[in-house]
Amino acid sequence: MGLDFTVVPSYFGVLLMGAGWTIAITICAGLLSFFGGIVFAVIALYGHWSLRLPFRGFAFLFMGTPLLLQLFLIYFGLIQIGIDLPAFVAGVIGLGLHFAVYNSELIQASILAVDKGQYEGARTLGLSRGQTLRKVVIPQAVRAVVPPMGNNMIALLKDSALVSVIGVMELTLAAQQAISRTYRPFEFYLAAAFCYYIVNLALEAGLRRLERRIAASR
Amino acid sequence: MTDQAFVTIRNAAKSYGALEVLKDINLTVNRGQIVAIIGPSGSGKSTLLRAINELDPLTSGEVWLEDVQINKKLPHRQYEAHVNQVRQDIGMVFQHFNLFPHLTVRGNITLAPRMLKGLSEADADKLAEEQLAKVGLSEKIDEYPSRLSGGQKQRVAIARALAMKPKVMLFDEATSALDPELVEEVNLVMKQLAEEHMTMIIVTHEMDFAASVCDRVLFMDQGVVVEEGPPSVIFHDPKEERTRNFLRKHLSR
Ligand SMILES: Nc1ncnc2c1ncn2[C@@H]1O[C@H](COP(=O)(O)OP(=O)(O)OP(=O)(O)O)[C@@H](O)[C@H]1O
Ligand SMILES: [Mg+2]
């Protein structure tokens, strides 16, 4: 059986739908990983020890174990204690928290790199510690961290394929469905790869624009 | 107006471990007075200035602004609230400007008034325009600090401090980081503040400037005020040997 790409167009809608879900999950999990990363960074640096210690354990768990396992745990495991999440939500939480931990490491480092003069400038005006963090330190730390955090977002997009195992009908699972009907794995996996590539290009273009926009304000 | 104790420092002492940086310093600055602090590097000038707004709290002694003790001993939460409140009345200008690079000039000036005084966007904008006009930088309102020269940055920093309508302004070597040709524009702004009778305490290495704008000069060395008096006396007829030695090295004439 040779290659026959003519079957692909008839599943175009399925793939497109899958790509749509991939984008949706990437955006939702990306936002969660961004804001979660900021919150985790603040907890890790300034939190009371009763918050910081459990957080360290949690971060270790998320960085030291496979994402696949984390997704199983959130989707199948939590049902046992009465938390029955829709697959999409479980996927967003798993991916989002996983990458939030990585983003938090980056943000922590860049918060610590903010010049002490920035704190002094803000505090002398009368801003409180919290206001100084929110309005002066964190915005600068986040700007500094956009390029490496962009890499995490691209990794997140690619790892979003993993949520196919808990049944979210994203791009990879959509391709698999098409394959199970047509027995044409090469054609559809290649088509899916192409779709990932396009989405990735768009994401990278967006990140570059963002980097350019913040270049003036550094 | 004048002859009214405005900033009062009593028996100020500060140590870092075994190192005594300030030793029993007393200073009274009246309303509208302009005081220069001069002295060799490491003599404690910055430390004294930064004690006034609790950036570097004293080990012992008192700092007062009018009838409010700035370095009051309070439980942590109350202390923070108190300090945040009194700092609004004390403007400070740093050697390295400490502008916020992620905000425009407008954002730098309006941040604190909006957050702390609840100014509306329109009122804050008007305030920013007023303060920028004062330092002669109206056209830079939408620039980011990275696009400004050192002298312009420092003038924005002064405008930012003035936007809080402080009762007193502290300057810690405001022109030391500037290229020589940019010093004058900042000095001019400070002179203009002097003419408006702003109370100012100025740490400086520029003796000519101190002589021309200040009412009083303090010479500090090794954590003590060695000598103080009007510029005419300190610069032309100092009593202390240490003052004379220092001035020999620093007077440009
Ligand atoms: N955080 C600190 N820890 C330990 N020692 C310090 C600290 N800050 C300042 N000092 C010491 O305190 C002394 C006074 O410092 P200060 O910065 O007040 O001097 P200065 O008169 O402002 O000098 P300069 O003209 O160089 O700015 C110096 O010996 C300095 O090394
Ligand atoms: Mg100093």
For every residue of chain B, DSSP letters joined together read: --S-EEEEEEEEEEEETTEEEEEEEEEEEETT-EEEEE--TTSSHHHHHHHHTTSS--SEEEEEETTEETT----HHHHHHHHHHHHTTEEEE-TT----TTS-HHHHHHHHHHHHH---HHHHHHHHHHHHHHTT-GGGTT--GGGS-HHHHHHHHHHHHHTT--SEEEEESTTTTS-HHHHHHHHHHHHHHHHTT-EEEEE-S-HHHHHHH-SEEEEEETTEEEEEE-HHHHHHS--SHHHHHHHHHH---
CB contact under 8 A, A117 and B94: yes
Tokens of A12: 């175009």
CA distance B246 to B237: 13
At B135, the pLDDT band (50, 70, 90 cuts) reads very high
∠ at Cα B134 (B131, B139), nearest 5°? Answer: 80
Residues 6+ apart with CB under 8 A from B15: B21, B59
Q: Is B16 in the pocket of ligand 1 (CB under 6 A)?
A: yes
CA distance A36 to B195: 52
The bridge status of strand B34-38 relative to strand B199-203 is parallel
Residues 6+ apart with CB under 8 A from A3: A186, A187
Of A185, A191, A194, A193, nearest to A1 by C-alpha is A185
pLDDT tens digit string along B162-203?
Answer: 999 999 999 999 999 999 999 999 999 999 999 999 999 999
Q: Identify which ligand lies nearest to the alpha carbon of B21.
A: 1
Q: Give the pLDDT of residue A8.
A: 85
Residue B2 confidence (pLDDT) above 50: no
Residue A14 and residue A7 in contact, taking contact as beta carbons nearer than 8 Å:
no
CA distance A118 to A218: 13
Distance from CA of B170 to the nearest CA of A (A): 10
pLDDT tens digit string along A2-57?
Answer: 888 888 888 889 999 999 999 999 999 999 999 999 999 999 999 999 999 998 89
Residues of chain B numbered 90-149 and touching chain A (CB < 8 Å):
90-92, 94, 96-104, 111-112, 115-116, 144, 146-147
Residue A215 confidence (pLDDT) above 50: yes
Residue B76 confidence (pLDDT) above 70: yes
CB contact under 8 A, B111 and A139: no
Q: Which atom of ligand 1 is nearest to the CA of B43?
A: 21
Asked whether the ipTM of the predicted complex exceeds the cut of 0.85, the reply is: yes
**What does DSSP assign to residue A73?**
I
Tell how far the Cα of B241 is from the centroid of ligand 1, in angstroms.
Answer: 23
∠ at Cα B26 (B64, B212), nearest 5°? Answer: 95
Tokens of B80: 């923070």
| The domain over range A20-171 is classified in CATH as 1.10.540.10 | no
Tell me which amino acid residue A73 is. Answer: L
Size of interface A-B (CB pairs under 8 A): 74
Identify any residues that bridge with A88 across adjacent strands, giving them in sequence order.
none
Which whole number is the average pLDDT over B91-116?
97
- From chain A, the residues in CB contact with B103 under 8 A are 217
**What does DSSP assign to residue A145?**
T
Mutate to test the interface with B, among A111, A119, A124 (most CBs of B within 10 A): A124
CA dihedral (B52, B57, B63, B65) in degrees, to 10, reads: 50
Nearest beta carbon to residue B100 from set A126, A136, A216: A136
- A218 touches B: beta carbon within 8 Å: yes
Strand order, beta sheet including B19-30: B19-30, B5-16, B60-65, B68-69
Q: Give the pLDDT of residue A31.
A: 97
First to last CA, chain A: 58
In angstroms, what CA-CA distances link B111 with A116, A121, B38? 18, 12, 32
Nearest residue on chain A to B50, judged by CA atoms?
Answer: A124
Q: Give the pLDDT of residue A214.
A: 83
Query: Which tops the pLDDT comparison, B146 or B250?
Result: B146
Residue nearest to atom 27 of ligand 1 (CA): B41
Q: Ligand 1: which of B14, B37, B46 to mutate, judged by most atoms within 8 Å of the beta carbon?
A: B46
Q: Is A170 helix (H, G, I), strand (E, B) or coil?
A: coil
∠ at Cα B183 (B156, B6), nearest 5°? Answer: 65
Q: Give the pLDDT of residue B251.
A: 73
Q: Which atom of ligand 1 is nearest to the CA of B19?
A: 5
Nearest beta carbon to residue B146 from set A136, A139, A216: A216
Q: Is B33 in the pocket of ligand 1 (CB under 6 A)?
A: no
Tokens of A48: 């009371």
B93 alpha-carbon distance from chain centroid: 6
Tokens of B210: 């101190």
Of B45, B48, B19, B16, nearest to B176 by C-alpha is B45
Domain regions of chain A by residue span: 20-171
Of B185, B138, B184, B135, nearest to B162 by C-alpha is B135
The bridge status of strand B68-69 relative to strand B60-65 is antiparallel
Instruction: Report which listed range, A59-63, A208-212, B51-55, is most confident.
Output: B51-55
CA distance B248 to B253: 9
Q: Give the pLDDT of residue B116.
A: 96
Tokens of B121: 């966007």
Radius of gyration over every alpha carbon of chain A, rounded to an integer in angstroms: 21
Tokens of A33: 């990983």
Tokens of B198: 């702003």
- Long-range contacts: B185-194, Cβ < 8 Å, 24+? B185/B136, B185/B151, B185/B152, B185/B155, B186/B151, B186/B154, B186/B155, B186/B158, B189/B134, B189/B135, B189/B136, B189/B155, B189/B158, B190/B158, B192/B134, B193/B158, B193/B162, B193/B169, B194/B34
**For residue B152, is it left (φ>0), alpha (ψ between -120 and 50) or beta?**
alpha
Q: Is the pTM of this model over 0.95?
A: no
